[in-house]
Amino acid sequence: MADELPVIVPVEVDALVVNQRVRADVVFQRWLPDFHLIDLHLDPQPEAFGDVDTTFGADEKNEGVYLRWHLPEALTRAAQNVETGHLQPPLAPNRWLVARYLGAPGSDLGQQPTAWLLESDHLDRLTGGVPYLKPAQLDARPTRIGRIHLLTDDGWTEPKERPRPFLTAFGPGMPDFSAFQPYHHGVFSLHDPLEGVAEGELYYAVAGWYADPDLADPLGTARDPLATLRDFGWDLGLTDRQLADRLRERRPRVYCAGTALKVSWQRGGRAPDSDRPKGADVTVAVGATGVDALTALATGSPTRLPLSAEQLTALQHGLNDRLAGEPDAFYAYQQYVHQAGFVRSPGGHRWTVEFRPPRTSGSSGPSGPPADPPWLTALNAAQEAYESADTRLTELREHLYALWWLRELPQLPAGYTRETFDQPIADALAAVRLAVAVRDRLRQDVPWSPRADGWDTATTEWLATPDPPKPLAPGQLLVRVPHLPFQRPTDPVVVLAGAHSGRPLTRPSIRCRFREELARPATPPQPEVVTGLPDPVAGLLGELACLTGATIESQGVTPLFGAAPWRQPWSPLYLLWEVEYFPVPFTEGTWRFDGSDHVCDTLPSTQPAPVTFRGRQFVTPHLTHNLRQQIAQYVREHPELTRNTDTAKKAVKQLGDLYDAVRALDPLSQSLTGLGERIAQRVQPTGARPEGAIGDALAGRPRYGPDPGRPKEPFRDWPDSLFQQVRAGQFRITRLMVVDAFGQAVDVVDNTNQRTFTLHPAPDLTPKASMDSLPDSRFMELKPRLCQPSRLRLALQDAGAREPGPVAGWLTHNLVDAALMAYTPDGVGVCELRVAADESAGRAVVVEPLPGATLPQGGGLPPDLRDSSPKLYAFLNSLLGAPARFRALLATMDGALPTIGRAAEAATPHASLVGRPLALVTAQAAMELDGQPVTDPSWQYVFDQQAADRQRRAFLDRRWPVRLGEANRVGDALVGYYVEDDWTALYAPRPPADLRGYVHSAAPGGATVDLAMDSRATRLTLLLDPYAPVHAACGILPVQALALPADIIQGPLSRLRAAFRAGPLLTTSRDGALLLAGPPTSTGGWQWAQPRWEPGATTGTWEYLRLAPPDQTARLDQRPVVRQGMLRLTDQPAST
């Protein structure tokens, strides 16, 4: 095209030499997918260590050079379609030219090239190359793809009929399609058999383009090519303005280009030098996360690290600044590391109304935000009902899919037929349809949007519906906020050192070129066989001569990968693993909760038989990349490190030495993906998707499919089920293999070295009691974790209908009077409790009302407190008549408060004059599953609904211990708690040394709150410091923290008034003021308050007098009066 603007994008070309010696010395693991297995509900890719081409090394026809090129990184990234939500990668070039020169082109030794044209999107069962699955729009049936044309003097002519562009880096939906050479031979790779060539120096040029650029070229079809270039990271060496001018003149077109230079070929010679390691040189580390495993690997290596293991872990997680100077750094570190072993999933949403004061002129507006609208409660109830219905629909769809999938298996156990499934499937289909109708009906009651960017519009439209009206005050905004997410445990991660990672993980930007930036040789090679191809391709072939040292007429920009010397490639791609798993049943006598996690001290005498699991996943060097990013981020956030000081130089050197040490390990990592699902007998769905009514009802593929286990053998009972609802056990690695992009394999662990290979397990995976008592044991422990998403919820709860908030009251320990002072949730004084002598010369807890509180006839708690603050009333009432309990409470408060760190308080100084204020808070704790408990999918239970119900009930009846508070954590607020309004037992994480029955230890190893995973909340009353959070730990889930919002702390605490008992005092008054010297204070002043009782009244009143300092003037006309009352601090300044 005359108006096109060619953009030359560099690609990296790997050339693997397979000569006689390579065939003999190298183990190959090469396989192809079989898409016909989809109809049998089997994975088209073989199982790890399964159906591979074991004859590759024995067949001399496989000799030659295998070329594969890495597609530009931008073409291998999928972006989410806003309309559909699906991931869509860009289309890939579907025409590729490969030209091979024997001897340098343009030199005397250079020969006429041999050239091939790859018709990469050719689809045909007979003439296609490698197995493929037709695109869905073409009927999604198995076929073959790719056709290689050896170019002759006739050149190349595009076929008149060709399919609409469809080819991407993911091919038939396989992320590794463009990465594993056997998958894409004839599409993105080529085998040059070198027939008749015994030896020589080979030069290869590769060029790719789009046969239909107007339909497929990502630049040619882009609305904004400049933005696309920026998103792709394709740098053309121009400013945005210069580039925009070029793009206005001509339409850009993408051409990919790469070379492999000086490839040494000797059919009978030695194997070329390669970075492929020996298995014995590879070290293995395993951790709950990649960070844990890398830390174990680095600290176990001979190289001394400049930082400790904890510092290395913190740096990888980006925690250094958060932990610096933190008195609870140890606990924060442990909490974060534990949390990193889980992955989040959405936990639903709720609606709230935020207040954003409108900008007004003149008046200052209301003093506070308006109250929430009355319809908000109903909206959240409707949201909860909708989400519950949606979760139930997901479960029913998974059940329907499981039944359909089992029915379609090629072989069923004895006693099962396809007809056996018909009625259950019909019932399941009806249940799904009903659930869809219920879900859709409930969705009408809430704002809803299928698009991530459509929630604002959906909310506005819902508010505008008139029935019922949903008014909002000016400045109020309806906002959708997420609930606490569900958590699912991650699978263990394997890290390998010495496996040689190969190319970088990512290249954020690559230098591309225009056609005029290509180098031109003085004597271009004569590739007569390459005719009928786009004009830029000839320029790319000409540049090949320049890269080999030919005389240059025009010096261009050196291509990114063009000048790199050839080396036999080693590009690790897969980790193939096999583990032997030994279940350790999660029973009371086997696992013990130590306050942080579950520990197995002694293995059961009888152990279940081990289970073997295998898997194959991508292996990447992302841990080194992550460390480099974290170090760079740390340096950016600490500009002092750029200063020319000895301290800065030392710190930068430490970081550099650390990175160099880790990079020298050259770690590759991957998780044992799917291990947890396999333990629960769940698998990722593979195979064909159901069609017709079932396919419509499923609306996609469920998250999991069943693994029914082994079928029943004739005349035998069903085999024992391997199902575990709680993942708990030990495992050992029995085989590890690294396979590269060409299928070259390195055995790291096999049956010859299972006890001798170098292993560094993370401390959290090291068992106390190992399955193998021998010193060379390689067993690692999987602590108890649920096999499905769940969450621990610790939340505030309204104290009652009359108390609109979670704070039931405020308490302070008046050390002057050895009394407990109580205040309402609003900070208004109620009473003071103290121990005093009673009429029988014993000791009793007496009540002294605080100024302003109701004065009941005969003493006791104010009668109106029962109605206004029922929770506070019940708490205080439980202390009356129990002096020992009262003293134990004060002792617990006194022992805990010095160990709780203080935050900067926003309240007035009055709040702390008589001791630190504590909040009496109502809360609730619950454990929740994302849906119903998973049940055993084994064959014998497929139709046994009663067995499934029993399994669910048994699981939901199980109680899980939860520890509240952290005794040695200065940032933990908890002084003690009560369970379900039982005021006879106070559980304290920092109990006094002398426990007398009322106070129970809640320190690690002590009392816990036992919760069932049934979403039913346990009501708690927490006694806590209002300025710090309370922590809850259960081991099977991340630690949760609960803190009081600042807006419910500041107001009440600013209204707390210190008051001290005073009297009896012999005083006089003057001008309505009591002549009495009050204690010195920097703010406010003192006021005298004393009760007054009128004859016949059932309640008393308070008399308030200001204080006046006495002087030396004698006033004999006034009679002194004996007074008994309280001194109360007020905001009014003292009299002078």
pLDDT tens column, 239-287: 999 999 999 889 999 999 999 999 999 999 999 999 999 999 999 999 9
Q: State how far the Cα of 215 lies from the Cα of 971, in Å rounded to an integer.
A: 61
Q: What spatial distance separates the first Cα and last Cα of the chain, rounded to whole Å?
A: 98
Check: CB of residue 615 under 8 Å from CB of residue 673: yes
pLDDT bracket for residue 364 (50, 70, 90):
very low
- Computed from CA positions of residues 562, 563, 568, 570, in that sequence, does the dihedral angle turn out positive or negative? negative
Closest of 751, 745, 716, 746 to residue 733, by C-alpha: 751
1087 contacts 1132 by C-beta, under 8 angstroms: yes
Place of tokens 């060409």: 742
Amino acid making up residue 1061: R
Is residue 541 a contact partner of residue 203, using CB atoms and an 8 Å limit?
A: no
Cβ-contact 1050, 907 below 8 angstroms: yes
The residue among 736 and 777 whose pLDDT is bigger is 736
Facing residues of 620 across strands?
Answer: 669
Beta bridge partners of 670: 494
pLDDT of residue 1122: 84
Task: Answer yes or no: pTM beyond 0.75.
Answer: yes
Mean pLDDT of 961-982: 94
Identify residue 1096 by its one-letter amino acid code.
Answer: G
Q: Cα–Cα distance between 1024 and 975 in angstroms, integer?
A: 5
Pick from 208, 204, 242, 248: which is nearest to 224 by CA? 248
Give the chain's largest Cα–Cα span: 135
What is the pLDDT at residue 906? 42
What's the CA gap between 799 and 978, in Å, rounded? 14
> How sure is the predictor about 964, in pLDDT bands with cuts at 50, 70 and 90?
very high
Q: What is the pLDDT of residues 1121-1132, one digit of tens each?
A: 888 888 888 877
Judged by DSSP in three states, 936 sits in coil
- What is the model's pLDDT at position 363? 47
User: Is the CB of residue 35 less than 8 Å from the CB of residue 43?
Assistant: no
Using an 8 Å Cβ cutoff, are 53 and 31 in contact? yes
Tell me the pLDDT tens digit for each residue of 145-170.
999 999 876 677 888 888 899 999 99
Does the pLDDT at position 484 exceed 90? yes
Tokens standing for residue 904:
């900067």
Beta-sheet pairing, 342-345 with 486-489: antiparallel
Confidence of residue 1044 (pLDDT cuts 50, 70, 90): very high
Q: Mind listing the pLDDT tens digit for each residue in 427-455?
A: 999 999 999 999 999 999 999 998 888 99
- Amino acid 1092: pLDDT: 85
Give the pLDDT confidence score for residue 327 in this predicted structure.
Answer: 87
DSSP code at position 1066:
E
CA distance 103 to 109: 5
The reported pLDDT for the residue numbered 1073 is 82
Pair type for strands 591-593 and 598-600: antiparallel
Please give the single-letter amino acid code of residue 842.
G
Considering only residues 440 and 1081, tell me which one the structure prediction assigns the higher pLDDT.
Answer: 440
Give yes or no for a contact between 229 and 219, defined as CB atoms under 8 angstroms apart. yes
Report pLDDT for 804. 67
* Nearest-angstrom CA–CA distance, 885 and 845: 10
d(CA 1130, CA 1083): 9
pLDDT digits (tens, 9 = 90+) for 225-234: 999 999 999 9
Q: Which of 202, 180, 312 is nearest to 740 (CA)?
A: 180
